[in-house]
Amino acid sequence: MEAVQALKYERAHSLARPLARRLFSCLQQQKWTIDMIAPIPLHISRLKARGYNQAQLLAEELAQMSDLPLAATGLKRQRSTTSQVGLTREQRQANVRGAFSADPRIVSGLRLLLIDDVLTTGATLQACAEAALTAGAAAVYGLTVTAARA
């Protein structure tokens, strides 16, 4: 968890590769057929403030390791949401409901693998998966580096 926090908040970009190795190891154990990897997007305001998207760094590394294409712009966070830290399960679900959209020109008919750093309640992954499926994705899977308690 410390490595994920360092990647996310301390600009420790060099941790993306070893953390993506964990994702790759987990992916190899699954029986999923994946066409494309997509990072959970940040809203443009948070991206500008942080300077990078840690989920995208992880997804880029994983795409390289797995020889799968990266859909860096397949999903979009269309509205800013408050930080999920400290929110209950219900608050998290309400916070991200309708916050994401997917580009059907990119995701339609494909089996996507969503990548994020931390899974707490699954609200963010669920909201992104719903957006991708609405845009025509054939299937959506998700992997995170770690899980935390809500």
In the chain, what are the domain boundaries? 2-147
CATH class for the region spanning 2-147: alpha beta
Q: How far apart are the first and last CA of the chain?
A: 14
The neighbour count for residue 122, using CB atoms within 10 Å, is 17
Per the CB < 8 A criterion, the answer to whether 119 and 147 are in contact is yes
Distances (CA, A) of 125 to 10, 97, 121, 128, 144: 23, 11, 9, 5, 9
Task: Give pLDDT, residue 38.
Answer: 97
pLDDT at 59: 97
**Predicted pLDDT at 83:** 72
Greater model confidence, 104 or 3: 104
pLDDT, tens digit, 9 for 90 and up, residues 59-109 = 999 999 999 999 989 999 887 777 767 777 778 777 778 889 999 999 999
Give the model's pLDDT for residue 41: 94
To the nearest whole number, what is the mean pLDDT of the chain? Answer: 90
Q: Are 141 and 18 in contact (CB under 8 A)?
A: no
